[in-house]
Structure 1
Amino acid sequence: MSQDTDDFGIRQFATSPVTVIRQHVLGDDLLAHGSIIAIATVASGALNYAFQVFMGRALGPEQYGVFGALFALFYIVNVFGRGIRFSATRFTAELVDDGPALASFHRKFLRQSMLFSIGIFVTLVAAAPILSDFLDVSPTLLVVAIAGTAPFGLALTVNFGTLQGVQWFTPLGGYKVLLAGVKLAAGVVLVLLGYGVFGAFTALVLASVVVFGLTTLHVRRRLPDTIPSTSSFDFSRAYRYTLPAILTGFCVTVPTTVDVLLAKAFFPSRLAGLYVAASVLGKILIFLPMGISTALFPKVSTQRGDETATNALLNRAMLYTAVIAGLGAVTYWVVPEFVLTTFYGAAYADAVPLLQWYGISILAFALASVVLNFELARSRNRFVYVFTLISVVEIALMGVFHASPLQFLHILLAGNATLVVLGIIEVHS
């Protein structure tokens, strides 16, 4: 085994794991920065899941199925937001040493993203009757509520991407927690006041508006106030990067989101509600190691010319993700009923096999997502297209084979495991 392929000290780890951990982990800035985001992710995740659990208990399985389908639609809309954030992070990392150019890029990109998000809003409003019929959701106003999350929600991703690109991880984490906190507080109040599902999504809009305003002020105060006329950025580069960035957003959002929409369309309301509960808990295994991927992206972008350094970053990111998500998957397999009844109550105990298989599927998905982020940060887009193709195949198969929710999960597991193997091959090709 060469030195390049043994960056984490695999042979040494086999004989002296404590020494390897001391040498490679305690002083690892990827882990340090990833830990900041991980702590924020745990905190915001706790608030987000409190939001989900409250809605599950307050609305009941049938209305929670409606909520879950609409929330999945919200996530799909945010495919564009993830693409915008990837682009903002990629080019912010490149411009980090040129303050005036970075300030110019941020202001122009924010303005263009706001215009784009307004276009998404108009499109969703126009399509609301069709979406309402497909999801069997009434009234149509509920779909319009999803459209309302687009303008500030998508523009907010520019600010988050900027904070990530310049590696201001502490404020980034703080704002993520604030976003989740405002959403939870507003959601609880509005639902208790009797606004139901509509109140829950109004809370998303309010949270986005508040955090968008605060992050915009934060970024502009930290960047130069005056921008010389010589400070410019070739936005055609960002536009060319947009397609793979949006596809990456599609890849990390849709395969584990569209299944909820399909479950709502194909299964009875109660069964769809059980699937939503398993899905919500399963996604914890993505969110927990998310800090590692968040810290990985700008570090790879700034060192993409040094293959040895970037491969070492990938090796560590894969290891950390496998440990974190793997522990969660084992927990879901061993004590699924305890997890379900603790978070959702006895009414969701029948979702045990769904949670078990969801956990394993998401473990593979989390590992594949690390490789996906790594390749996009290096502007190597072939794996992005492969990931997209397999994701589309997964969706098509779920549309054909839907005799039971377990079929969905077996399809996702097969696709995600394939992506892990292909991703590793691609990195070393």
Structure 2
Amino acid sequence: MTVFSVVKKRVSPQQLFMLSALLVNGGNYIYNLLLGRILGPEAFADAALLVTLLLVLSFLGMTFQLVTAKFVAALPQEQWESFRNRIGVLALVIGCVLGAAVFFAAPFLQNILQTENPLMFQIFGIGVPLYFVMSVNRGQYQGEESFAKLSISYQSEMWGRLLITLLAFLIVRDHFGVLVSFGILGSLALGLFPFKKLRFNVARTTSPDLEWGKVRTFMLITACYELTQIIINNSDIILVKHFFQAQEAGLYASLALIGRVVYFVAWMFVMLLLPTVVRLKKEGKPTGHILFKYVGYIGLLSSVIVVVCATFPELIITLLFGDAYLSMASLLWQYALATSLFAVANIFTYYFLSLDQYRPIWFSAILGVSQIVLIVFFHSSLALVVQLQILVMLVLLAVQILYFLSHRR
């Protein structure tokens, strides 16, 4: 009891959430590595496809979470329940529509994506509404800065997906794509806890003081930005798979999985940044020091990761994937650098989103499309693909910094 009281006094909720987020990201990373090692290339293709579908859907799920977090942080406490009920019902309706579309399109998806059977998509479709409601639930805890409850939700989802999937592999040992989708469904159900019940009679819970036009505008803008992140984070893998041989594409995918650890680390700071900036803005206090603090944190962590990748590339690749992937060693630090630049630029964008400044989103969208165009026309080697991304992310970060300086003036 004494240990817990000491920890509670000396460690802030924000610090506990950061430690929890590191554990969650580490667990999700291990989950992907275990899938690759246990299943082998052919079966792993189906598993990776489901994880990619979840990432694609995340741009909408994260939109609901950020919208909820922003307006919960900005609204008076007596309006929280009213707002959450309405946004929660909207998320549930959209989740049911998209989930039904995936469920009934399962035979088509199986045919076009050449998977083992359609059941994996049907199970995945059932989980889509849960994912959207879970995002609203997390958004309220994020906006309230209830980081202990937010941590429990992320921990439940991560451990549920890891343990359910591994247990299913031990028991069944077949139809691995279906088992992975079952693990995802179970983890989404666990991620709902701790859960606040939705009231479906929206008319009685609508607050007359809340301007829903602002909510819709912020939701649309945020969805567009989350979509640009999906493009920047995944277009290179898809294009490499199109332009290069299967072996080279597989090597590049392993490189991307290792290099993106920087982006996973940066994600936890975004969770802390948005509600803090919104609260300070509401109180009429300056917010620039919050941006500097988190840019400093991410810059320091990113630098450490890039240096480690440059110093021990062979060791890292051998430990995570094996000797067959060692030809990517020279590119590891370069890919980590490209991801680091994007992670720092991302903090600037979320900062301005918190202040209702939407122009930086267009910077990301334009440079995300530029990245695609450059890779399409210049892809003579994997090294060139990585170096083009470094160039694009350098330009993006420079533009964000210049916009910040002009905005302060």
Q: TM-score range by the shorter chain?
A: 0.7 to 0.9
Q: Are the structure 2 counterparts of residues 126 and 33 from structure 1 closer, same or farther at C-alpha, using a change threshold of 3 Å?
A: same
If asked which structure has higher relative contact order (CA below 8 Å, sep 6+), I would say: 1
Q: How many residue pairs get matched?
A: 391
* Deviation per residue, 1:10-32 (Å, 9 max, x gap): xxxxxxxxxxxxxxxxxxx9x95
2:168 maps to 190
* 2: CA distance, partners of 1:128 / 1:407: 37
Letter in 1 for 2:362: Y
1:83 is the counterpart of 2:83: no
The question of 1:108 aligning with 2:79 is answered no
Cα distance in 2 for partners of 1:198, 1:271 equals 27
1:119 aligns with 2:97: yes
Pair 411,205 (structure 1): closer, same or farther in 2 beyond 3 Å: farther
1:362 counterpart residue number: 339
Partner of 2:212: 235
State the 1:60 CA deviation. 1.4
Report the CA distance shift for 1:291/1:184 in structure 2 as closer, same or farther (over 3 A): same
**Structure 2 SS opposite 1:288:** helix
Give the aligned partner of residue 332 of structure 1. Answer: 309
What is the identity, as a one-letter code, of the residue corresponding to 2:212? F
**Contact residue 142 and residue 197 of structure 1 kept, 8 A:** yes
The alpha carbon displacement at 1:380 in A equals 0.1
Give the aligned partner of residue 321 of structure 1: 298
Distance 1:425 1:128, change over 3 A: farther
| Deviation for aligned residue 1:265 | 3.9
Equivalent residues in 2 for 1:251-266 (5 A)? 251-266=228-243
2:27 and 2:159 in contact (8 A); partners too: yes
Q: Is the 8 A contact 2:338 2:393 kept in 1?
A: yes
**1:170 pairs with one of 137, 148, 151:** 148
Give per-residue Cα distances to partners, 1:302-324, cap 9 Å, x unaligned: 22368872111111111111001
Q: Answer whether contact 1:72 1:260 (CA < 8 A) is retained.
A: no
Conserved 8 A contact 2:100-2:126: no
Equivalent residues of 2:152, 2:194 under 8 A apart: no
SS at match of 2:281: coil
Rounded Cα–Cα distance in structure 2 between residues aligned with 1:78 and 1:147: 14
Report if aligned partners of 1:44, 1:177 keep a CA contact under 8 Å in 2: yes
Q: How does 1:49-60 map to 2 (within 5 A)?
A: 49-60=29-40
Q: What CA distance in whole angstroms lies between the structure 2 residues aligned with 1:394 and 1:145? A: 34
Relative distance call for 1:352 and 1:45 in structure 2 (3 A) is same
CA 1:161 to 1:364, structure 2 compared with 1: closer, same or farther past 3 Å? same
**Is the 2:85–2:205 contact (alpha carbons within 8 Å) kept by the matching residues of 1?**
no
Distance 1:49 1:259 in 2: 19
8 Å Cα contact 1:93-1:302 kept in structure 2: yes
Cα 1:368–1:168, aligned 2, differ >3 Å: closer, same or farther?
Answer: same
- Which residue pairs with 1:415 in the alignment? 392
State how far apart, in whole Å, the 2-side matches of 1:399 and 1:386 are: 20
Match of 2:77 among 93, 98, 101: 98
Partner residue in 2 for 1:301: 278
- Contact conserved, 1:401 with 1:408, CA < 8 A, in 2? yes
What does residue 157 of structure 1 align with? 135
Between the aligned partners of 2:328 and 2:358, the Cα distance in structure 1 is: 37
1:250 Cα deviation after fit: 1.9
* 5+ long unaligned stretches in structure 2: 1-9, 199-203
Match of 1:215 in 2: 194
**Paired position in structure 1 for 2:201:** none
Structure 1 unaligned residues grouped into runs of 5+ = 1-28, 221-226
Shift of 1:283: 1.9
What is the letter of the counterpart of residue 312 of structure 2? V
CA distance in 1, matches of 2:255, 2:236: 11
Match of 1:17 in 2: none
Q: Is the 8 A contact 2:334 2:386 kept in 1?
A: yes
Residue pair 2:70, 2:354 contacting (<8 A) in 1 also: yes
Q: Cα gap change, 1:408/1:308 in structure 2, threshold over 3 Å: closer, same or farther?
A: farther
Q: Verify the 8 A CA contact 1:34 1:291 in the aligned structure 2.
A: no
Match of 1:392 among 356, 369, 375: 369
AA matched with 1:207: S
Distance (Å, rounded) in 2 between the aligned partners of 1:363 and 1:76? 21
- What is the TM-score with the length of structure 1 in the denominator? 0.83
RMSD: 2.8
1:342 positional shift: 1.3
Alignment of 1:266-281 (within 5 A): 266-281=243-258
The question of whether the paired residues in 2 share the 8 Å contact of 1:132 and 1:138 is answered with yes
Q: Give me the identity figure in percent.
A: 19
Q: Could you say if the C-alpha distance between residues 307 and 98 of structure 1 is closer, same or farther in structure 2, counting changes exceeding 3 Å?
A: closer
Give distance in 2, aligned partners of 1:35 and 1:277.
Answer: 31
Partner of 1:38: 18
SS in 1 for 2:210: coil
- Aligned mate of 2:158, from 180, 197, 201: 180
Q: Which amino acid aligns with 2:65?
A: R
CA deviation digits over 1:144-190, x for unaligned, max 9?
55444421112211111111111111221222112100000011122
Give the 3 Å change call, closer, same or farther, for CA 324–53 of structure 1 in structure 2: same
- Give yes or no for contact 1:65–1:269 (8 Å, CA) kept in 2: no
- Deviations 1:292-351, CA, capped at 9 Å, x for gaps: 221111111122368872111111111111001111111112211211221223333333
Structure 1 residue 34, shift from structure 2 partner:
4.6
Q: Deviations over 1:346-370 (max 9, x none)?
A: 3333332342222011110110110
Q: Secondary structure at the match of 1:255?
A: helix
